[in-house]
Amino acid sequence: MKIPLSLLLILWSFAPWGTLASSAAPHRPYDSIFNFGDSLSDTGNFLRSGALAFPVIGKLPYGETFFRRATGRCSDGRLIVDFIAEAFGLPHLRPYLEIAAHGSRSLRDVRRGVNFAVSGATALDSDFFYNRQIGKILWTNDSLSVQLGWFKQLKPLLCSSKAECDAYFKKSLFLVGEIGGNDYNYPFFIGAPMEDLRAAVPLIVGAIVGAATTLIEEGAVELMVPGNLPIGCSAVYLTLFQTPNSSEYDPRDGCLKKYNTFAKYHNEYLKKALQLLQQKYPHTRITYADYYGAAMRIFRAPRHYGFSKGALRACCGGGGPYNFNNSARCGHIGSTVCKDPSAFANWDGIHLTDAAYGHIARRLITGRYTSTPLLPSHGVHNPDTTRKG
Ligand SMILES: *[C@@H]1O[C@H](CO)[C@@H](O)[C@H](O)[C@H]1NC(C)=O
Ligand SMILES: *[C@@H]1O[C@H](CO)[C@@H](O)[C@H](O)[C@H]1NC(C)=O
Ligand SMILES: *[C@@H]1O[C@H](CO)[C@@H](O)[C@H](O)[C@H]1NC(C)=O
């Protein structure tokens, strides 16, 4: 077959550009996203695994804002990972357990990304908690290493030879977290002393860095690893650990200082471990995402960002100073939902709203809260124009 010269020229002019784009140029859009984590980024795995510990995420008001139905996301709408996918012109990531349940009949969009995150998941394996007699309070056993196992199971459907996988994963963004927050939440909520949890930080960071290492060995080149949110600003922490001692609160935001200090300690530890990992694998690009800093903007100036009801009080809940009531959590009898979730940063006491996640995601995408830019330097793409030739 004779190939027209014009077509040859087009192919020729594209080839070197394509090669360059997939090796050297750091600022480029991605062809797919693979996400690992917990309820901050779960788009439906926990619900599909039964959600026994938290069945209300399977019904409204969860999902009421954007999807207009409950999808299994722990929010009224989209999560940070959804906004990142949108910014790249990629579909919202499908939950792995949905794909696994339908088998090869359900491969739509799989090569554009898959979500392995599970609400309630921990960075450490569930054995760790069972061995310390606190396993029973875990929502799920689908820890980070279980999620990595799922990724390995799915891999043959994504690519076959090592060369093909390498080429494909090179253009994929791997989001490892946020994860680890629950490793602290569970013990904190049953009264574990802060010194014990501080001592566990190296273990938990080790599990996160271990997962990133596994993914690099599997071919990941571009990774983003987020830190923890300011947990001292979370309605559940503010409620469980409320104190009459006003010096425990930061006057700038009303958050509990020592829990925020703890989150920062974890984040600093993680950041340093990631720097070492980057040195060990110079061919990769490991980005630390400062969820803490990005979210803190909202907590320091909620009204500036449109959160007219402040950032600490939950939209959906069963009363109390932060509208979080453990006996009447969002979705349960005794709770009510606010009229306008976009006026609230906190959705259900534990998780944030579509509006708050959108703000955080935009800050990450524009690169001000990531250690290296997440998007091409020319800025955020319009979903309609991102598709590459
Ligand atoms: C997690 O594992 C433990 C011990 O193997 C088991 O007893 C428990 O039922 C599991 N929990 C869930 C939610 O699957
Ligand atoms: C109140 O909190 C501050 C800061 O944590 C602490 O130094 C002080 O001892 C506390 N006061 C009382 C009466 O507990
Ligand atoms: C929390 O919910 C329970 C059960 O609905 C209710 O009896 C209690 O008054 C609520 N507490 C607050 C502070 O609203």
Nearest CA to 284 among 179, 212, 226, 228? 212
Q: Where are the domains of the chain?
A: 5-251+260-290
Cα(337)–Cα(317) distance, rounded to whole angstroms?
7
Angle, CA of 120, 360 and 213, to the nearest 5°: 55
Closest atom of ligand 1 to CA, residue 53? 13
Beta bridge partners of 226: 289
Cβ of 84: how many Cβ atoms within 10 Å?
A: 26
Q: How far apart are CA 346 and CA 343, in angstroms?
A: 9
Indicate which ligand has the atom closest to the C-alpha of 142. Answer: 1
Q: How high is the pLDDT of residue 51?
A: 80
Distances (CA, A) of 137 to 72, 100, 188, 242: 20, 27, 12, 22
Q: Is the peptide bond before 178 cis (omega within 30 degrees of 0)?
A: yes
- Which CATH number applies to 5-251+260-290? 3.40.50
pLDDT at 160: 92
Cα-Cα-Cα-Cα dihedral sign, residues 111, 225, 148, 276 = positive
Catalytic residue numbers, as ranges: 39, 348, 351
The residue contributing the CA closest to ligand 3 atom 3 is 327
- What is the C-alpha to C-alpha distance for residues 26 and 20, in angstroms, rounded to an integer? 10
Give the model's pLDDT for residue 107. 76
Query: Mind spelling out the 3-state secondary structure of 198-265?
Result: HHHHHHHHHHHHHHHHHHHHCCCCEEEEECCCCHHHCHHHHHHCCCCCHHHECCCCCCEHHHHHHHHH
Distance 380 CA to ligand 2 centre (A): 46
pLDDT in tens, 117-126: 999 999 999 9
Let me know: does 104 contact 157? Beta carbons within 8 Å.
Answer: yes
Of residues 361, 345, 301, 343, the one with CA closest to residue 175: 361
Query: Is 375 buried (19+), middle (13-18) or exposed (0-12) by CB count in 10 A?
Result: buried
Q: Which of 236, 222, 231 is nearest to 296 (CA)?
A: 231
- Token look-up 């006003």 returns 246
Rounded CA gap, 353 and 317, in Å? 13
Task: Please give the distance, rounded to the nearest whole angstrom, from the Cα atom of residue 241 to the centre of ligand 2.
Answer: 14
334 lines ligand 3 (CB under 6 A): yes
Model confidence, pTM: 0.90
Q: Rounded CA gap, 355 and 344, in Å?
A: 8
In ligand 1, which atom is closest to the CA atom of 50?
A: 13
Closest by CA position to 66, among listed 357, 351, 294 = 357
End-to-end CA distance of the chain: 24
CA 306–ligand 1 middle distance (angstroms): 42
- CA gyration radius, the chain: 21
Q: Which residue has the tokens 């680890």?
A: 180
- Residue 368: per-residue pLDDT: 86
Among 140, 84, 144, CA closest to 113: 84
Nearest residue (by CA) to ligand 3, atom 14, is 319
- Tell me, what DSSP letter sits at residue 98? H
Instruction: Report yes or no: 141 and 126 within 8 Å, Cβ to Cβ.
Output: yes
Ligand nearest to the CA of 130: 1
* Cα separation, 387 vs 7, whole angstroms: 21
CA nearest to 202, candidates 260, 276, 148, 151:
276
| Cα dihedral 290, 97, 150, 39 in deg (nearest 10) | 20
Among all bound ligands, the one having the nearest atom to the CA of 326 is 3
Q: What are the average pLDDT values for consecutive 10-residue runs of the chain, which has 389 residues?
A: 37 34 47 97 96 90 97 98 95 95 78 96 98 95 98 94 95 97 97 97 98 98 97 98 98 98 98 98 96 98 96 98 98 98 98 98 91 59 36
